[in-house]
A and B are shown apart, each in its own frame.
Chain A
Amino acid sequence: MIVSSQAGIDETPLVARAREGDARAFGELVQQYEGKIFRLAQHVTQNREDAEDVLQETFMKAYEHLDQFQGNSKFYTWIVRIAVNQALMKLRRRKTDRSVSLDETIDTGEDTVVREIAAWGEDPEQRFSREELGGILDSAIQSLEPSYRSVFVLRDIDELSTEETADVLGLSVPAVKSRLLRARLQLREKLTRFFKRKGDDAFAYM
């Protein structure tokens, strides 16, 4: 596991310099977060072209409205909110004909049903190449419903708190929690198909 090197760095001085018009300071902030924002945009829009637009629009808007950033939240949370809004707009525009809504999820309760119960084999990072693993993880996320996907991406990949996720998506905390549970269980189910211990492997360890 690679631990984020950005964790714990106080970016307040950098943000302050950017607010005063220091282009280089803003550039540093862009470089720090562009990868995460691009990934978030790809996960939410599921479309490469849209994700590129979202990336660009996010930092343009952030630059434009930098004076509105109050420092009450983390700078990262603030740009994530901009990115999510841009991405959701794209998603709605693209899917109007299919009437996909992020706010409506029909709760049948069936999606918390667990079908596949199997312990995982050796560390998946040993068993699959980085590319293969990335492909498996991405396609599992893509198969989630948009309303579960955004919650999972913000909460578990971008590591926002439950409250921040609720705030960014305009959902209640209980709604975030219930969607997160379903997203996690569905992903677990999908990944188990790839990572479960194989029959012969099980014997090999005995």
Chain B
Amino acid sequence: MLTCKDFLNELTDYLDECIDPETRVKLERHITECPNCWVIADTTKKTIQIYKGMDPYPIPPDVETRLMKALEKKMAEKRT
């Protein structure tokens, strides 16, 4: 019988879908019987999704300008 602790230990592989079918069946059976683990799995999945959906902030123009200037200088050095 799978405990909640066992479930938590497998959670990362479960959410990443890299788990053998046998263990998956056991984990899925556990969450149908354990509302707490269901909530943890669901909210952890949502946590990952919300971070994945975040676009990087645009680079501030002054930072971009400095980067481009530095690179141009570097490229000019390499050419000579």
By a beta-carbon cutoff of 8 Å, the part of chain A in contact with chain B is 1-2, 21, 23, 26-27, 30, 34-36, 38-39, 52, 55-56, 59-60, 63-64, 112, 114, 117-120, 124-125, 133-134, 137, 141, 152, 156-157, 159, 162, 177, 180-181, 184-185, 187-188, 191-192, 195
Contact = CB atoms under 8 A, between A and B. Distances in A.
Q: Which of B8, B56, B67 has the most CB of A within 10 A?
A: B56
Interface of B: 8-9, 11-13, 15-16, 36, 39-40, 42-44, 46-59, 63-64, 66-67, 70-71, 74-75, 78-79
A152 B47 CA distance: 11
B44 A34 contact: no
12 contacts: A21-B78, A35-B59, A38-B63, A56-B67, A60-B74, A63-B78, A118-B39, A156-B51, A157-B52, A184-B47, A184-B48, A188-B44
A1 B11 CA distance: 23
A48 to B, nearest CB: 9
B36 to A, nearest CB: 5
A159 to B, nearest CB: 7
Contacts, number: 109
Contacts of A195: 43, 46
A63 B79 CA distance: 12
A186 to B, nearest CB: 10
B8 A56 contact: no
A192 B63 CA distance: 34
Given A21-B78, A114-B36, A125-B50, 5 more contacts: A34-B67, A119-B39, A119-B43, A157-B54, A187-B51
Contacts of B70: 56, 60
A9 B80 CA distance: 33
B51 to A, nearest CB: 5
Contact of B71 (A59, A114, A159, A162): A59
A97 B67 CA distance: 30
B54 A35 contact: no
Contact of A120 (B43, B48, B74): B43
B55 A2 contact: yes
A117 B75 contact: no
